[in-house]
Amino acid sequence: MSADATTAQRSAGPAGPGTDADLARGIAEGDETALATVYRRWSPLVHTLARRSLGDPREAEDVTQQVFLAVWRGGRGFRPDRGTLAGWLVGITRRKIADALSARTRRTEVLGVAGALLALSDEGRVRPEAVLDRVLVRHELSKLPPPQREVLHLAFYEDLTQTQIAQRTGWPLGTVKSHARRGLHQLRRCLPSPAEV
């Protein structure tokens, strides 16, 4: 058992009745009282772990909420034979902290790219909105599967036709068209429409 899980188990105290298995079963059955008991017992530990790792109280609050939302949604995932409820919560907390750190890194990268493009745009008189659009498109393109990303990159940035892309990649034309269609569909779902901006 990890030191965090041991601390959590000690902090359980008299905040509410029930063993780990009883509480997990209650959560899996949709019992809000069981979730409230788990929250009272372990939210201080979850918040402390998040705050120490992230150094930001607001991010720590977000992570704490995400952890207990994950507990509520995934209560069936707890297996008493594999460890304590406290250990399970610490594991979820660590994953959510890692997610928050990854999101922070992505935000920093996007802001860095946007800042660099905005600096360049002052010289070339490019509209800031166009720069932001390019940053958003690049970011969403980077999340596509490699074949879709390659097809759309060749189409958008190298101005190749689908036939030329097929020749360059060695893929059948139908495959290129399929990758382009799926990639564009994914971009449409992820990028805001002009009306939303």
Q: 63 versus 124: which is more confidently predicted?
A: 63
pLDDT of residue 71: 87
Residue 1, amino acid: M
Same structural domain, 75 and 27? yes
Q: Which domain holds residue 77?
A: 3-104
> Average pLDDT, stretch 40-54?
93
Closest by CA to 70, choosing from 39, 45, 49, is 39
Indicate the residue among 57, 86, 104 that finishes a domain.
104
pLDDT of residue 140: 79
Q: 38 versus 105: which is more confidently predicted?
A: 38
Alpha carbon of residue 173 to chain centroid: 34
What is the rounded end-to-end Cα distance, in angstroms, of the chain?
49
152 and 184 Cβ atoms separated by less than 8 Å = yes
Same structural domain, 90 and 152? no
Does the pTM surpass 0.75? The reply is: no
> Average pLDDT, stretch 16-25?
74
pLDDT > 90: percent of the chain: 17
Average pLDDT in the chain: 77
Residue 39 lies in a domain: yes
Of 20-24, 39-43, 75-79, 82-86, which range is least confident?
Answer: 75-79
Domain count across the chain: 2
18 and 34 Cβ atoms separated by less than 8 Å = yes
pLDDT of residue 128: 56
Q: Could you tell me the CATH number of the domain that includes residue 89?
A: 1.10.1740.10
Residue 95 has pLDDT above 80, yes or no: yes
Same structural domain, 164 and 100? no
Same structural domain, 8 and 93? yes
Residue 84 has pLDDT above 90, yes or no: no
Residue 37 has pLDDT above 60, yes or no: yes
Residues in CB range of 108: below 8 A, 6 or more apart: none
